[in-house]
Structure 1
Amino acid sequence: MEEITIEREVIYEGKIFNVEKHVVSLPNGGTSVRELVYHNGAVAVLVVDEDDRIVLVEQYRKAFESMSLEIPAGKLEVGEEPLASAKRELEEETGYTAETLEKIFSFYGAPGFCSERVDVYVAHGLTAGTMNLDEDEFLQVQRFTFDEAVDLLASGRITDAKTIMAIQWWQLSKLK
């Protein structure tokens, strides 16, 4: 069932991702074209504070020209380990540090054309501190109860996949 690349053309090399066009041989002997986005990967952190409130960040997302409520997250730097990235992003975006970060799941958001894998962690043993945002990052930290978070999902206010999955994981963990 494997597709073998027989031609490869680099279309774009950027700071965050690269784009390639591949001509592939198919299992049935035919060929097809695949347009692929190669991304270094990302991390995200489910943060539930001492008051049992989820910590979300609200920021403007240019890709869809709107504000978005999300769990803290960011891209992996080249050569960076996911756990180190999760610790860095947690502190940068929320000011929190965690005694431990436990990996809860990984996912590919658009596996038909994009290699980006997102590793999602849950933070334990929080200590509040000061946010340290990147110079081009503007966001606001907000906290919601579990019921409020579920209502935000149901109303369509939260549309970010990693956040939806993290809240659903939180919901399942409450059933245990």
Structure 2
Amino acid sequence: MENSRIKNIKHEILSDNWYTLNKYTFEYQKFDGSWEVQKRESYDCGDGAAVLLYNTQKGTVVLTRQFRMPTYVNDNTDGMMVEVCAGVLDGLTPKECILKEILEETGYQLTEVEQVLVTYMCPGSVTQKLYLFIGEYQDAMKVDAGGGADDETENIEVLEMRFEKALQMMATGEIRDAKTVMLLQYAQINKLIGFNS
């Protein structure tokens, strides 16, 4: 659906190094009916998918830990982040992408996942739409060590932990990644994982 309150959009690419940094100059009609020129930059890193892997019987979840440079330069002392498994679509459907990422990052081979949310994670500056999934895993699905794709400079630690511990880490700030917080809270609200396992 087009927005009639936006016109005369001019687009300029500022950087196309890792992903794409765009600059948009446009006229925007304010709520009082007047028009003003606005300038905004947006970072396009491609749409992505993320998944919370959980085991109902064991009461566990599988998360990852890896170094994230943007958090390191913004007050995350060691730059390490505990997160759900995730990746950029790169031409795949969200489901195809996340099944591939699960195997690459965690070593588990799932065939079914359930999409539960679609979000814009940072709508003021990043175009990315993120598809959020849940997936139930069993020990027998572990077919590889995981750790990430060799050609993507990934160095990922696979963490299997009790669901209660993940919630505690979220409460203490050890887990601060937004997609991970949302999926853990989704699991908690929907009682996907019991505390008595």
Give TM-score scaled by structure 2 length: 0.82
Q: Contact 2:114–2:134 at 8 Å: present in 1 too?
A: yes
Structure 1 outlier segments of 4+, above 2 Å: 1-6
For residues 120-131 of structure 1, the aligned pairs below 5 Å read 120-124=132-136, 126=138, 127-130=141-144, 131=146
Shift of 1:132: 6.2
Shift of 1:40: 1.4
Give the AA of the match of 1:134: A
Give the AA of the match of 1:118: L
Match of 1:34 in 2: 40
Shift of 1:125: 5.0
Q: Which runs of 5+ in 1 are unaligned?
A: none
Q: Which runs of 5+ in 2 are unaligned?
A: 73-78
Choose the corresponding residue for 2:21, options 19, 22, 25. 19
Percent of residue pairs identical:
26
For residues 92-107 of structure 1, the aligned pairs below 5 Å read 92-107=104-119
Aligned residues: 174
Tell me if 1:70 matches 2:83.
Answer: yes
Show CA shifts across 1:73-95 (max 9, x none): 11111x22111100000010111
Choose the corresponding residue for 1:147, options 161, 164, 189. 164
Shift of 1:14: 3.0
Shift of 1:5: 4.4
Structure possessing the higher radius of gyration over alpha carbons: 2
Shift of 1:51: 1.3
Give TM-score scaled by structure 1 length: 0.91
Shift of 1:48: 0.6
Paired with 2:49 and 2:192, the residues of 1 have a C-alpha distance of 25
Match of 2:10 in 1: 7
- Aligned CA RMSD, in angstroms, stands at 1.8
